[in-house]
Structures are given as C-alpha cells and as structure tokens.
Amino acid sequence: MRQLVHRCHSVHCEAPAAFWPPPREYYFFTPPPDDVLIEVNDEADAIRMRARKRQIKKLKKARKCLLGERYRFGLSHPCSDDVKYVEGFALKTSRANRIGCIYIPCPDSHRPRFTILYSHPNGSDLSDHLVGCPSLLDVARFYRCEVYSYDYSGFGISGGTASEGNMYADIRAIYDYITIEKKVNPKNLVLYGFSIGSAATIELIRHEQERKPAGVILQSPPTSLLRVLGHWVGRKNHLENPTCCLDRCVTIDKIHEVQIPILIIHGKEDRTVPVEHGEILCQRAVTKVVPEWVPDTAHDNIENCKVVWRRVRKFVKEELKLNGTTTGKEEK
C-alpha cells in the first residue's frame, strides 16, 4: 500500500482501491397476472413468500431488462418482502453498459417539491439504500420529493466493470434520462453524492452548461483516491500537494468549476474520509453555502443524524427555494 501511495506505479489499483461492489442482493421482476402480494409477519408468511419467489422470473442482469420497461424491485433473500413503491428500469450508457436504476415517486400522491438524483458510496448498491434505515424511501417521504438513483457499472445488476470512466458515463446516462426523456426541469433537480458519489456528481456538473441543476449536496466527499489512501497509511499534510498524474476521482481540482450552490456535509469523526477532505473542498468551492460539520459522526452513520436531515431540508427549502413542482413525472 505504501508503494502505491508513494510511487503510484500502476493504474490497475483503481478498481480494487476505489470500488468495492458488494454481492448482489436484489433483482428486477415483472409480477405474473395472478401474483398476490405477501407481507411477511410470521413463519407461515415466510414459507408462502419463499414459494412465491420460486415462481417469479428474476432479472439479475440489467442486460436482460428491456429498455423502457418498468419493473418491481425484489430482494434475493427467499423470505424478504418486496420493496414497495419503487420502480426499476434499465438504461444504456455511452460505454454500452446497461445499468440498473430506480425511481421513487413522491409518497401519498403529493406533487413533488423537487427531484433528487442520488449517487451512492463505493461499497454499497441500490438494495442497501432501499432496505437500510433510513432509506431512499425515507428521503422521498421526509422531503416530499421524488428520487432517482442507479447502480454503477459492475454493481448490483449493472453490467460492465467498476471504473471511474464507467461511473461518469453512468451518471450522465441517468441525468440525461431525467432531464431529457422525463422532462424534469433542471431548476427543480438536486444532485446528492455520498462519498465516491460526490466524484461522479462533480464530474457531471462541471461539464453541464445547458441543463444545470438547482444545487448539489456532497456528503463525506473525498478530495481524491490517493489522498484518502495517504491518510490510511499515515501520510501527513498531503491534501494540498500537487495531484499525481495517476490519481483518480480528483474532486479537489474540479470543484471550483461548479457554478451552482454546493452544500458540503461531513462527520467530524470520519476515519474513512477524514473531515479535512470536506474542509478543503469547501475552501475551494466558489458557490458553497454554509457547510455542516457533524460532531460525533463517522462515515457509516452520518445518514442517521437528524442534523443532516434538517440541514438538507434548510438547503433545499430556504437556500434553493424549491417549493414548486417538477415536470415530467414518471408514468405509471
């Protein structure tokens, strides 16, 4: 690891160092005409659910999904409930990979106040953000918005391999889908990047001139891959050093190009991506708002902090003033 940080001798370190796809735990499916929803509350329900899942044709690869079709979201565990109120679909990227995506409508038939495009960290996939607590379903409920998210190439049911270039093509594909095909007004769109998702978000925005979103939220953002690894092996005062030519996900050299409001949120006890990364990105951001440095919070529990939820709500409601409705809602 020290050789990687000090000598940077191989670009092949990118995938294993930056991307940790978990085992796939979900699939898309189209329920048969006689399908009956089962809510698992006891052993008998679990047995019935297991039998039901044996009959379902499971789409475990995005390449098997039809473009333009809508699917239900199922979990691989034989006794687990389906994830309700979520629509799955597949998109083809500019690199010819098919990726799994989801859409969560605004709950209770409310018209959405705005739309979120969420880019997840490097060690999780869509299922983690739909069954965890809180989940993206909670995001839609709490902010009364609609939510889109996607799995990077090589994650979940998405095809291809995990890489920086593929990740940038992935977010571009779903952003174009939201703003062009679904006709969501970019002025009502907020991009939310968590950890490595911040790198995807910044790369997209810096190249977007005609359809700029309303704002961007960066949660626990890294300055770059090698700077994070440098912290892990004990290097000091390395964040502001010149960027190595073999570094990846270099947000520190790009964030000044973002010309829309930026909210940066970071846990003060983050040992994975230390808070210093968020602080230096905040210093270099041109259009930042007041950041949120969350005390007693690490990388993996920051989503559970009410301070974060309240700060995001204030950013959207008061600083971006997004209280209207989006256009081009998903078709049922």
Q: What is the pLDDT of residue 4?
A: 41
Angle at CA 168, nearest 5°, toward 126 and 142?
40
Beta-bridge mates of residue 294: 267
Please check whether residue 294 is in contact with residue 84, taking contact to mean a CB–CB distance below 8 angstroms: no
Angle at CA 141, nearest 5°, toward 112 and 301?
130
Q: Which domain holds residue 121?
A: 2-319
- Let me know if residue 308 belongs to a domain: yes
Please check whether residue 73 is in contact with residue 83, taking contact to mean a CB–CB distance below 8 angstroms: yes
d(C-alpha 279, C-alpha 313), whole Å: 21
Beta-bridge mates of residue 150: 101
- Let me know if residue 231 belongs to a domain: yes
Q: What is the pLDDT of residue 16?
A: 63
Find the CATH number of the domain harbouring 56: 3.40.50.1820
- Let me know if residue 209 belongs to a domain: yes
Here the tokens at position 322 are 């997004």
Other beta carbons within 10 Å of 128? 17
Q: pTM, whole model, 2 decimals? A: 0.91
d(C-alpha 181, C-alpha 178), whole Å: 6
Q: Which residues contact 27 (CB under 8 A, 6 or more apart)?
A: 58, 59, 60, 74, 76, 157
Helices (H), the chain: 2-7, 14-18, 43-55, 128-131, 136-143, 164-176, 196-206, 225-232, 275-284, 306-314
Q: What is the pLDDT of residue 177?
A: 99
> If DSSP codes are grouped into helix, strand and coil, which group holds residue 129?
helix
Helices 196-206, 164-176: crossing angle, 10 deg rounding: 60
Angle at CA 274, nearest 5°, toward 137 and 259?
65
> If DSSP codes are grouped into helix, strand and coil, which group holds residue 262?
strand
- Let me know if residue 244 belongs to a domain: yes
Other beta carbons within 10 Å of 269? 14
Helices 306-314, 136-143: crossing angle, 10 deg rounding: 50
Q: What is the pLDDT of residue 240?
A: 74
- Let me know if residue 332 belongs to a domain: no
- Let me know if residue 331 belongs to a domain: no
Q: What residues act catalytically?
A: 195, 270, 299
Burial of 173 (0-12, 13-18, 19+ CB in 10 A): buried
Tokens 């940790």 belong to 20
Structural domains of the chain, count: 1
Q: What is the pLDDT of residue 195?
A: 97
Mean pLDDT in consecutive groups of 10 residues from the start of the chain, 332 residues: 41 66 97 87 93 94 98 95 96 99 91 97 97 94 97 98 97 98 97 98 95 98 89 70 82 96 98 95 96 97 97 97 59 39
Closest CA to 168 of 330, 320, 14, 64: 14
